[in-house]
Amino acid sequence: MAQVLEFKLPDLGEGLTEAEIVRWLVEVGDVVAIDQPVVEVETAKAMVEVPCPYGGVVTARFGEEGSELPVGAPLLTVAVGATDASSASPGDDGAAADEPSGGSGSGNVLVGYGTGAPAARRRRIRPERSTAPAAPAVVSAPSRLAVPVAFGEVKGRQGPVAVVSPLVRRLARQHEIDLRQLSGSGPDGLILRADVDSAIRQAGHVTEAATRTAAEPVVAEAPTVQVGAAASATAERIPLRGVRGAVADKLSRSRSEIPDATCWVDADATGLMAARAAMNAASGPSGGSKVSVLALLARICTAALARYPELNSTVDTAAREIVRLPGVHLGFAAQTERGLVVPVVRDAHTRNAESIGAEIARLTELARTGKLSPAQLTGGTFTLNNYGVFGVDGSTPIINHPEAAMLGVGRIMPKPWVLNGELAVRQVVQLSLTFDHRVCDGGTAGGFLRYVADCVEQPAVLLRTL
């Protein structure tokens, strides 16, 4: 006889207490293997696939796509030992056991990510429809793709249309856009975010026109009341959750707890750009990846932190102590479709510019595809924020709590500059440092920023620390 086991949302680590269901990977009646991913969830840190430690038949799922579940809440139940439809029918609501027996579970302690093994082939066991003995119907589904894809029939044409990325589906769901009515502009009819954005704008125009038409005869009698009602009806409310919610919480905590101050300086980056060009030219056409400006700035930061360790620290508020950290785990701000994330280059103080650049490129690609793990987004001790990529010159960064400082870098562009008493056109960049005034005073912060600026203007200064 089958044993029905309950699988709960596991502890995803890093202090996360809840997750949003993005996409179910199995349905009631499917046969799952041990450690097969069964659901894709989004936390405040990353998008992860959660594997099930039991092998058997899925008898129930808890939670719809788009809903949030706390850690420890039931995800699904699995009938372990069920080999046919008679041993465990879909929707079985029998009492769920806490632990599997006879080796039916993986024995792994699930912390969000599973074993990384390839997904097992999905089968469905259909319940019997009559009392007559019958062999269970087994339907094989296509194997899970590396990029999550959902298929649906589109009215007016034949064949499936692919919806790439759960983010696109969630955006459509939030704005009540029926993906089955859209024609994808991507390869082979893929529905892209641009297609959904266009549908949202069109729906907004239709709603606005309909609201205006319906309100016209009433507005003449009570304009104040009706205009207010119309505005309330068309206002959009966006939940602060997932990455956006985590960013909001962290920034609010930073502003409320950290007495921050910002200083800035303009620097002549002509020497830095020339040094980078020389490095990349020396590597030759097949000498490896090119060194980026961000990698050079990151290496300059690690050298500056070695001179000014006060800024590589945190504050233990409860103990009223400044905790100076032994190593530099350098975070860098990256803008993605999910929002702003800060991947962390571990042990950046032990790396050269080329190694830092390679790690930044690797983490940036993971961020772009939404595959960063929570561990890769936490533990930073200092953050480098290159907002110059947005075409702006300066900013006053908000410290990435619980760190003590953040260096902001504006765009590098030609500007008039006085060089050796004469006016010249040079590559100029604005550098800004926001720091926790509890860990140091302005003299230390100014010394750090001045050293960074000196290295930007004269990269040979770095030779002293290499």
**Looking at the annotation, which residues are catalytic?**
437, 441
* Tokens coding 259: 């007495």
Provide the 10 A C-beta neighbour count for residue 443: 8
Short-list 464, 396, 463, 391, CA closest to 435: 396
* Tokens coding 41: 């969830």
DSSP per-residue codes, 312-358: SEEEETTTTEEEE-SS--EEE-EEETTEEE--EETTGGG--HHHHHH
Is there a contact between 152 and 161 (Cβ–Cβ < 8 Å)?
A: yes
| Distance (Å, whole) CA 46 – CA 343 | 11
Partners of 232 in the beta sheet?
none
Is there a contact between 23 and 40 (Cβ–Cβ < 8 Å)?
A: yes
List the beta strands (DSSP E) in 65-119: 68-70, 74-80
Tokens 């304009």 belong to residue: 223
* Tokens coding 196: 């959904």
Q: Which residues of 394-424 are buried (b: 16+ CB within 10 A; e: fewer)?
A: bbebbbbbbbbbbbbbbbbeeeebeeeeeee
Helix 270-283 vs helix 293-307: crossing angle, to nearest 10: 120
Short-list 20, 32, 209, 34, CA closest to 105: 34
For strands 344-345 and 56-61, give the pairing: unpaired
- Cα radius of gyration (the chain): 28
Q: Which helix (H) or strand (E) holds 203?
A: helix 193-219
